[in-house]
């Protein structure tokens, strides 16, 4: 089953709840929350308060709050985001010197645990941790800003990660984030992705949120 996870980074924050509700009403049940600290990536987004603000909507609709921590020292924030209502927390392999401990802590907090890596980081960095995770994310742009173009070599990386997961009989979601849109969604899915993260392709452009999501669903189905 392929999931679409709209990234709220691209939503209109003047009306965040209603904009996100449009996406849920159009048939998505994951919400991707990109947290940036201005250190690990050259941008600042938001923190646990935004997750807490979305939590009532998540409880009402059953939508998954999928938090991606693009921050230095993520261990310092795990409890805050779990308390705020995150269902899933993904960390960057580059920021976690004791990755097994971090993944274990996320699970102890009652959240699903995910791991990701930058485009230039080798998949070998994930080999030892893959059996422990619920989600593995391929970044198909360099993290920090929305609206970037998909890096073509990401498709091969997705394929290789799919083989790695299958080789250990992992049931983890294979998520892809960065430049994903209806025009390349089939390529990403065929490579082995099971969760597509899309920001501006859902919340931006001339079409409505519902029309943008419908375009993705036509490809997914």
pLDDT in tens, 72-103: 999 999 999 999 999 999 999 999 999 999 99
| pLDDT tens by residue, 26-78 | 999 999 999 999 999 989 999 999 999 999 999 999 999 999 999 999 999 99
List residues bridging with 137 in a β-sheet. Answer: 116, 175
Tell whether the model's pLDDT for residue 221 goes beyond 90.
no
Q: Is the pLDDT of residue 108 over 70?
A: yes
Task: Say if residue 144's pLDDT is above 80.
Answer: no
Output the pLDDT for position 68: 98
Report the CATH number at residue 130.
3.20.20.70
Three-state SS string across 106-170, please? HHHCCCEEEEEECCCCCHHHHCCCHHHCCEEEEECCCCCCCCCCCCCCHHHHHHHHHHHHHHCCC
Range of the domain at 88: 3-220
Number of domains the chain is built from: 1
Dihedral sign computed on CA atoms, order 108, 171, 10, 87: negative
| Residue 121 pLDDT > 90 | yes
Per-residue pLDDT band for 146 (boundaries 50, 70, 90) equals low
> Taking the model in full, what pTM does it have?
0.96
Using CA atoms, how far apart are residues 57 and 121, in angstroms rounded to an integer?
Answer: 35
Residue 143: pLDDT band with limits 50, 70, 90:
confident
């Amino acid at each position: 089953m392929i999931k679409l996870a709209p990234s709220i980074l691209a939503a209109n924050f003047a009306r965040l709840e209603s904009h996100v509700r449009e996406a849920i009403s159009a048939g998505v049940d994951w919400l991707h929350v990109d947290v940036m600290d201005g250190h690990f990536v050259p941008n600042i987004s938001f923190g646990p308060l935004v997750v807490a603000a979305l939590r009532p909507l998540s409880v009402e609709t059953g939508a998954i709050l999928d938090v991606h921590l693009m921050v230095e020292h993520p261990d310092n924030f795990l409890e805050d985001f779990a308390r705020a209502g995150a269902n899933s927390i993904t960390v960057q392999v580059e920021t976690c010197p004791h990755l097994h401990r971090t993944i274990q802590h996320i699970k102890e907090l009652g959240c699903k645990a995910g791991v990701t890596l930058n485009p230039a980081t080798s998949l070998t960095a994930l080999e030892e941790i893959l059996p422990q995770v619920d989600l593995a994310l391929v970044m198909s742009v360099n993290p920090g800003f929305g609206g970037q173009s998909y890096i073509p070599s990401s498709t091969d990386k997705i394929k290789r990660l799919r083989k790695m997961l299958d080789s250990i009989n992992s049931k983890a979601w294979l998520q892809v984030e960065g430049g994903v849109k209806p025009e390349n969604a089939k390529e990403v899915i065929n490579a082995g992705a099971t969760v597509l993260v899309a920001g501006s392709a859902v919340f931006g452009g001339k079409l409505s949120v519902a029309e943008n999501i419908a375009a993705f669903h036509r490809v997914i189905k």
